[in-house]
Amino acid sequence: MKPAAYWHCFVGIQTREWLRFWQQRTRFASALVRPLLWLVVFAAGFRAVLGISIIPPYQTYITYETYIAPGLCGMIILFNSMQGALSMVYDRELGSMRVLLMSPLPRPFLLVTKLLAMGVVSVIQVYIFLFIALLVDVEPPGWGYLAVLPALILASLMLGALGLLIATWIKQLENFAGVMNFVIFPMFFMSSALYPLWRMNEASPWLYWVCQFNPFTHAVEAIRFSLYLEWNPLAWGVTAGVTVVLVILATAGFRPQRTRILGTKPA
């Protein structure tokens, strides 16, 4: 297959995701409400209670809003990835995914391109969130906005691949509630998104280790450090490694004929 065909396909999938995003502008806006509520309401209530000591990558004392902003960037990507994965489940039976998978290009290429396209939409949401966060004095250095881009894309790929992997096991759309309860919430709460890990260690050492083994923690830390122009090899290493493994597992496991939607039999 010629490289031009790959490029053509890549552009096609990206464009389709863009069109879809443009048609669902209200969903896009409503997806921002969740992290903004956390930032403006939850963080404001806790800013004085928690008190953050100086921890890398920060050079001085920070407000709680500043601390949780990178975690909320992760939250946006996490929710988007799971919803995107859900739509892929739906699409593969009823929608454009079937058409897409009829392409002669390798399936892993098609799926990774699709994940990347979903990631771009998440990244745009994250940037809008970060600009709104300026209003509550979350002010990373200017270059941080550029430096965080690779971390955001990597996190999107990792969580998108995880969503895809989970999607292969979802038998019915209603099971998405289960995904919320058993994947999204534990991943989010048992991470460094809301509390620094040293504080978690003080409260419960076993919970600290659960957080340490949670790849979402490392995705959030990669975002946090990049946003403040610092390098965190552990966070990047774990996020990249888990991304590779999940992408391989997800693309290998994606079988359009395996699942049923709303109880219908596979075609």
Enter the DSSP assignment of 2. Answer: -
Cα three-residue angle 238-244-248, rounded to 5 degrees? 145
Q: Between residues 51 and 205, which has the closer beta carbon with respect to other proteins?
A: 51
The CB-of-204 to other proteins minimum distance in angstroms stands at 25
Q: How many residues does the chain have?
A: 267
Q: Are 197 and 234 in contact (CB under 8 A)?
A: no
The CB-of-56 to other proteins minimum distance in angstroms stands at 13
The CB-of-72 to other proteins minimum distance in angstroms stands at 19
The CB-of-194 to other proteins minimum distance in angstroms stands at 17
The CB-of-226 to other proteins minimum distance in angstroms stands at 19
State the distance between the two ends of the chain, measured CA to CA, in whole angstroms: 29
Token pair, residue 105, equals 């290009």
Q: Between residues 57 and 256, which has the closer beta carbon with respect to other proteins?
A: 57
Q: Are 155 and 219 in contact (CB under 8 A)?
A: yes
Token pair, residue 100, equals 């897409």
Judged by phi (left if over 0) then psi (alpha if -120 to 50, else beta), residue 51 lies in left
Q: Between residues 139 and 174, which has the closer beta carbon with respect to other proteins?
A: 139
Q: Between residues 44 and 248, which has the closer beta carbon with respect to other proteins?
A: 44
Give residues in contact with other proteins (CB under 8 A): 44, 47-48, 53-54, 59-63, 139
Q: Between residues 141 and 253, which has the closer beta carbon with respect to other proteins?
A: 141
